[in-house]
Amino acid sequence: MKKFIFLFLSIISFKLSAQEVNIIPQPVELRPGAFPSDKFKINNSTTIRILDSTAVNAAIFLKNYIANHYNLNLEVSNNLVGTKGNAINLIISDQLYKNSDKYFVSVLSSTVNAGASSPQGLFYAVQTIIQLLPTNADKEISIPSVDIIDYPRFGYRGMHLDVSRHFFNVDFVKQYIDYLALHKMNYFHWHLTDDHGWRIEIKKYPKLTEIGAWRDGSIIGLWPGKGNENIKYQVLPKTVKITPNDAVLKTDGIKHGGFYTQDEIKDVIDYAAKRYITIIPEIEMPAHSMALLAAYPELGTEPNKKYEVAQTWGMMNKYNNVLQASDTTFKFLENVLTEVMALFPSQYIHLGGDEASKIWWKQSAASQEIMSSNGLKNESELQSYFIRRMEKFVNSKGKTIIGWNEILQGGLAPNAIVMSWQGEKGGVDAAKQKHKAIMTPEDKMYFNHAQFVKEDSLTANKFSPLIDVYNYEPVPAELTAEQATYIWGGQGCLWSEYITSREKVQYLLFPRLDALSEILWSPKGKRNYPDFQKRLKTQFKRYDLMGITYSKRYLEN
């Protein structure tokens, strides 16, 4: 058996491959097989063979993909010998690699051997096998002879989805997770609460979804709404200045909303776990809380105010969306997080912490009293006090918090991880303080921005073309080698202000997700944009096979 497992070690060749192989993200090592002209042909007699039950998940995923896209129903067998026909052997052995994400794929004419030391490593091998399959289901289904050894550069490879501005149902969230799996991503940041809708059932506080999950309309056109109602194309210079006072707040009057029950949340978590993706839930605080305050106004800095779920975007300084830093608020949030942490097995809970306008605490006598009684010098220290208080509770439950880079204001909580979106400074500061950092700078990693100077539908009024995404380097040059070890990885963000359909999600996501996956998985030295563009041509054909919408204007280049 040991000899069988290490068969791939003897299959090394430096001949040019007779067949082109296009894989995204680019593997660490990819060589032609021992007999480059050979192909492994998949037909009804092909068997997927596994050694033990830990490989079942990867085997079933591959079986289902082939069934869905090539109309072949392959047998999965736990017998590595004695089966008829050719075979795809999926092997898990702790003798292979110390790195649990590392895998190999070796293709011969009669067998495909894929192995790793862990189930997730084997799952990554399966994603590579999928990208070796033809993109035309009507032709012969074969895989070229190659040898691949591969492993990721970064431990955190994340993608975000905002379901507060526009709600997406469970079926689509699962589809989104499959997109991440295909690209070997391992974290899904689920933005569940914001000013525009509370999307997760909390049984102790039913008004969060009875009231907070619904809004009476959405702003028309591009925020701030002035003169954009009938826009078809936008010219998107990088320097566009808009202020809330310029806004003409016209809304469509259409009720919008939705939420996930706790049973649905559990279902999605289980689905992601089978794809080795950890879901990180985000519960926004202390700002971006209009939906919460609409349900429980007593938690705001203006307790007698009638709050409403927000119908427009960009309200940081115009509308009071900030929670009061009171014991009552903290107890409420602790109860919310208790239910959230019971649902999500993730070690990490995202608490937001961004865009908390200090003017609302300045204007609140109660806030000023809280500051005085706790010896806080200013409102930035009050924000730090708020986040530290919540971190202490989350830590007491054995979890770790993540926050946007504003949690650095007033002093960083002791164990917090910083997600840097306002450029790289937050990540640099966190790394220098020996805190983990996740890099998601808005100008490169926000996929709700336009991909082209003239877009064919409404997007955020900023510009993040594919080449800028691909050329982004997550480790800032100013960090020392030791400090660089605290850059945990990176993440793309997809905010849904102007996204109302799954097709629009796909259009904005692809192919920028392809670029992101290569940034976070492949060795820095193997990144090559012209070669990436070439490989994208094959990936686009695969998206056609899978029925995925993407930015086809890239085919013109």
92 forms bridges with which residues in the sheet? 116
Handedness of CA 408, 413, 418, 419 (dihedral sign): negative
Going by their DSSP bridges, the two strands 87-92 and 146-150 should be labelled as unpaired
Distances from the Cα of 556 to the Cα of 236, 410, 415, 553, angstroms: 21, 49, 48, 5
Catalytic residue among 160, 189, 256, 288: 288
Catalytic residue among 194, 354, 455, 518: 194
Handedness of CA 158, 179, 163, 318 (dihedral sign): positive
Q: Which residue has the tokens 């930035």?
A: 380
Q: What secondary structure does DSSP assign to 476-538, as a single string?
A: -TTS-HHHHTTEEEEEEB---TT--SHHHHHHHHTTHHHHHHHHHHS-GGG--HHHHHHHHHH
Catalytic residue among 264, 302, 355, 429: 355
267 given a catalytic annotation:
no
531 given a catalytic annotation:
no
> 461: how many CB neighbours lie within 10 A of its CB?
17
- The phi and psi torsions of 101 (rounded to 5 degrees) equal -90, -10
Please tell me the distance from the alpha carbon of residue 108 to that of residue 47, in angstroms, as a whole number.
Answer: 15
105 forms bridges with which residues in the sheet? 114, 148
Please tell me the distance from the alpha carbon of residue 434 to that of residue 63, in angstroms, as a whole number.
Answer: 44
288 given a catalytic annotation:
yes
Q: What secondary structure does DSSP assign to 345-400, as a single string?
A: --SEEEEE-----THHHHT-HHHHHHHHHTT--SHHHHHHHHHHHHHHHHHHTT-E
The 8-class DSSP code of residue 224 comes to T
Please tell me the distance from the alpha carbon of residue 426 to that of residue 486, in angstroms, as a whole number.
Answer: 12
User: 341: which residues sit within 8 A by CB, 6+ positions away?
Assistant: 349, 394, 397, 399
Q: Record the tokens describing residue 392, joined without a space.
A: 């202490």
| CA-based nearest residue to 322, from 283, 350, 292, 349 | 292
Going by their DSSP bridges, the two strands 146-150 and 187-191 should be labelled as unpaired
Q: Record the tokens describing residue 5, joined without a space.
A: 């497992």
Going by their DSSP bridges, the two strands 437-439 and 417-420 should be labelled as parallel
Q: What secondary structure does DSSP assign to 136-205, as a single string?
A: -TTS--EEE-EEEEE--S-SEEEEEEE-SSS---HHHHHHHHHHHHHTT--EEEEE-EETTEE-B--TT-
Q: Record the tokens describing residue 353, joined without a space.
A: 């912490």
Please tell me the distance from the alpha carbon of residue 204 to that of residue 210, in angstroms, as a whole number.
Answer: 12
* Residues acting as catalytic residues: 194, 288, 355
